[in-house]
Amino acid sequence: MHTDAPHSYSQGQPVKAILNKELPKAKPGVWACVQARELWSTREEVHFRPGHHWLCELGDAGDGTSCEKKFELGPRKWEDYKGTRFYNGDQALVIKRWLNRVDEDASGLTFEEWDPASETDTSQEPVAMIINSSELRAAGFKLKEVLPPQLESAARGGMRTRGAGLRRLQGMGPQRFLLHVDDDTEFRSRCE
């Protein structure tokens, strides 16, 4: 959280209050909602509405936490760390994987795991998989996994196999997840 930088407000709720509540939940393996300040690609424009946000799964920084680095800086000072600006009190949180909204769901509530190999500009340096903790808007919420139609019918047909085993079948595509509309509404209210 920015202790020396100006705080923005989300629908009357100060970002500092959001961070005080959500940052303790930011642990490896939990889902997180992040304030989106720009679009990744023009494909994302179809889902752009007020309070636009991204979803990710937080990773392990190597010590059982998602915090790779805490920043202790003087007043009005900042540091560029791996291409991201940090102020006093901010933390660099490790991202395990990002989720993108799927094009065919106009509601913007269905997400799939982002494949960096499919959309990476190889002429550029790889982007660090970190975020500034000041952009965190929610952590520790639930996403419902959506099974591909082929697996859904197999599961209903009485196939006696565990879901994790089913999801590993070749050619079934990336994992998909559904964000509850109430969570989406709440997250949008926390984003600028």
**pLDDT by residue, tens only, the chain of 192 residues:** 444 444 443 444 688 999 999 999 999 999 999 998 765 656 655 556 667 788 999 999 999 999 999 999 999 999 999 999 999 999 999 999 999 888 888 888 989 888 766 655 566 655 679 999 999 999 999 999 987 665 555 555 555 555 555 445 555 677 899 999 999 999 989 988
* 173 dihedral zone (left: phi>0; alpha: psi -120 to 50; beta): left
Report the DSSP beta bridge partners of residue 112. 100, 176
> Residue 176's pLDDT is what?
92
Cβ-contact 138, 190 below 8 angstroms: yes
Q: How far is CA 114 from CA 19, 32, 74, 97, 183, in A?
A: 25, 15, 37, 7, 21
Q: Could you give the maximum distance between any two Cα atoms of the chain, in Å?
A: 63
Cβ-contact 158, 191 below 8 angstroms: no
Q: Does residue 172 form part of some domain?
A: yes
Q: Does residue 163 form part of some domain?
A: yes
Residue-level length of the chain: 192
Q: Does residue 2 form part of some domain?
A: no
Cβ-contact 165, 9 below 8 angstroms: no
| Domain around 18 | 9-190
Query: What is residue 111's three-state secondary structure?
Result: strand
Q: Does residue 4 form part of some domain?
A: no
Q: How many domains does the chain have?
A: 1
Q: Does residue 3 form part of some domain?
A: no
Which residues, including other chains, have CB under 8 Å from residue 149's CB and lie 6 or more apart?
none
> Residue 167's pLDDT is what?
47
Q: Does residue 117 form part of some domain?
A: yes
Q: Does residue 25 form part of some domain?
A: yes
